[in-house]
Structure 1
Amino acid sequence: MQNILITGGSGLVGSSITKTLEAEGKAVAWLSRSPKKYAQKSFYWDPKKGEIDDKAIDWADAIIHLAGAGVAEKKWTEQRKKVILKSRLDSSNLLYEALKKAENKPKAVVCSSAVGFYGFDTGEKLVFEGDPAGNDFLADVVKQWENATEKYQDLEIRTVIFRIGIVLAKEGGALKEMLKPPVAAPLGSGQQYLSWIFIEDLSSMFAFALENQGVSGIYNAVGPVPVTNKILTQRAAEYKGKPFVNIGVPSFALKLGLGEMANMILGGNRVSNEKIEGTGFKFQYGDLNLALKKIFS
């Protein structure tokens, strides 16, 4: 039986990956600041304090690294921005130091990153893994985060980094927020591209990366067909049985309410998934209607 250690395991994506791996017969444990809090097997760590239970690394055949403060949870004050960056760097660096010291190193580390790497708004241009980073706050965070996790390769550990798009899920994430108001409406112009992925496909992608030795380096973790904000909102509203109004929420109102964070939802990225599909990974829910049907059925 393979032992898989997950950082950020109790979050939306981590919980889904845990289910997928356990269904495949793997043993899963989480790294947590409160290991006794969960029914899931867990080891202690505290990235802020730079503390980790060394037994966790010895136990693991592979690691999935997802830990980092939620980007959309709170308004981006200067303090919050520091937390967003520091949480990612602290956890990634602590893991690196623990891996460096470990006698039994895991065979692979699969890390999360974000399509925010390309910048808030790349318009209609299809972006690929080799394209340059954007020059805004989020792009800078992602760049530093990837630099911290790419170091695992120096320890001769196969390292995979997934730049994750908009995650569609029943339990939370973007859809829940989009459909919160009594009436669904596009944001801003509604023409900005959203590169989305259904949570079950994302979980399968992480499992696939663990199993396949040929998967290494950076990949965009997005479905095959990016859609505009308007199309996603309209289709989701239909499946949810909610009224849709084709009048965009004005940009100035979003900026007033959300501050700098509004740029994240007013912009968009049309992201290619050619590279991950080239490894032989197959999407089960590459069609938006299929994904929404599964979510709202």
Structure 2
Amino acid sequence: MRVLITGATGLVGNAVTALCLDQNIEVNYLTTSQEKIKTEINYKGFLWNPEMQTIDKRAFDGVDVIIHLAGASIAQRWTDTHKKEIVASRVNTANLLFKTLASIDHTIAKFISASAIGAYPSSYTHYYKEDYPDYNAGFLGEVVEKWEQAADQFAAINIDVVKIRVGVVLAKDGGALQQLIKPIKYYAGAPLGTGEQWQSWIHIADLAGIFVFCIKNKVSGTFNAVAPNAVTNEGLTKVAAKKMGKPLFLPNVPAFALKAALGEMADVVLESQRVSSEHIQNEGYNFQFAYIEEALENLLK
């Protein structure tokens, strides 16, 4: 089996690529940089330019599944320019893949797109499953709706579509965990806002595992990629501090201070989404890290 991955050199892409290769799934990947091109039997790079809507069509040779992870980071101040880039980097890349596949003979049977739990409205009480009908009314909801619409179009050319709504990714190198532990290291850690907002998290190993599970199994539709046991922001902060052997003695960082520092991007840490993992578990995926304590023990040891 061979997959084609966009965003293969990012945090999630690196983990998915490594797991694919470990399980004897060959990988093609798309990159905008000639310097990142490698040509090995099981790992081959190809150039594309989403802005110019050009792509090396050899990237699709022998490919069974596309994994679409490309997208500009949301962890950067949301200026009007960057907001446009966040949307375009997800949608225009998917559109280029779709337009190209619609014009060539290919062997691709499945399109797996990253998405995000920012799809769901902020709530302290609701327990969200994939069939919840409404998107978040804020910018994150707008991004996810357009992102998922771009993925859905592949069904029109008889390709199965899987959308994986990713939670807060915890990893050793990069991602949300590094931002969380940085102030804790220097005795400046504190919960954010009320601290009561739900954080539906996932260990990077399980996130990669879910993508590969969807490659290898006959599944389609939308899946939440979150661990079975969400925690509050305060709970996450306390467990991280405990695992690091650091005290927490500062008051919560007030929401107004976060909004002053981060602008609209403060939504990322202040919104609350408690999200269900039942759908992917019912399909047969078994989590390696179901509880935050064991996840942070693994990542912070």
Q: Same fold (TM over 0.5)?
A: yes
Quote the offset at 1:48 in angstroms.
1.1
SS of the counterpart of 2:284?
A: coil
SS of the counterpart of 1:178?
A: helix
Aligned equivalents of 2:244, 2:103: Cα separation in 1: 50
Residue matched to 1:14: 13
Aligned equivalents of 2:84, 2:290: Cα separation in 1: 35
Q: Which of 196, 203, 207 is equivalent to 2:201?
A: 196
- Please, what TM-score do these two structures have when normalized by structure 2? 0.94
Aligned equivalents of 2:259, 2:118: Cα separation in 1: 18
Matches within 5 A, 1:138-287: 138-181=140-183, 182=186, 183-213=188-218, 215-245=219-249, 247-287=251-291
The residue type paired with residue 109 of structure 1 is F
Matches within 5 A, 1:51-62: 51-62=54-65
Q: Which of 37, 47, 51 is equivalent to 2:50?
A: 47
1:147-175 residue CA offsets vs partner (Å, 9 max, x unmatched): 01111111111111000000011111001
CA RMSD, 1 decimal: 1.2
Alignment check: 8 A CA contact 1:68 1:87 kept: yes
SS of the counterpart of 2:61?
A: helix
Q: Which of 111, 115, 118 is equivalent to 1:116?
A: 118
1:52-98 residue CA offsets vs partner (Å, 9 max, x unmatched): 111111232211100010011x2111111111111111101001111
SS of the counterpart of 2:285?
A: coil
Alignment check: 8 A CA contact 1:57 1:98 kept: no
The residue type paired with residue 190 of structure 2 is A
- Which shifted more, 233-242 or 2-11? 233-242
Aligned equivalents of 1:196, 1:157: Cα separation in 2: 29
SS of the counterpart of 2:182?
A: coil
Runs of 4+ off more than 3 Å: none
Aligned equivalents of 1:265, 1:237: Cα separation in 2: 18
1:235-292 residue CA offsets vs partner (Å, 9 max, x unmatched): 1122123332362111111111001111221111000111111101110111111111
Aligned equivalents of 1:57, 1:237: Cα separation in 2: 46
SS of the counterpart of 1:278?
A: helix
In structure 2, runs of 5+ residues without a counterpart are none
- Please, what TM-score do these two structures have when normalized by structure 1? 0.96
- How many residues are aligned here? 293
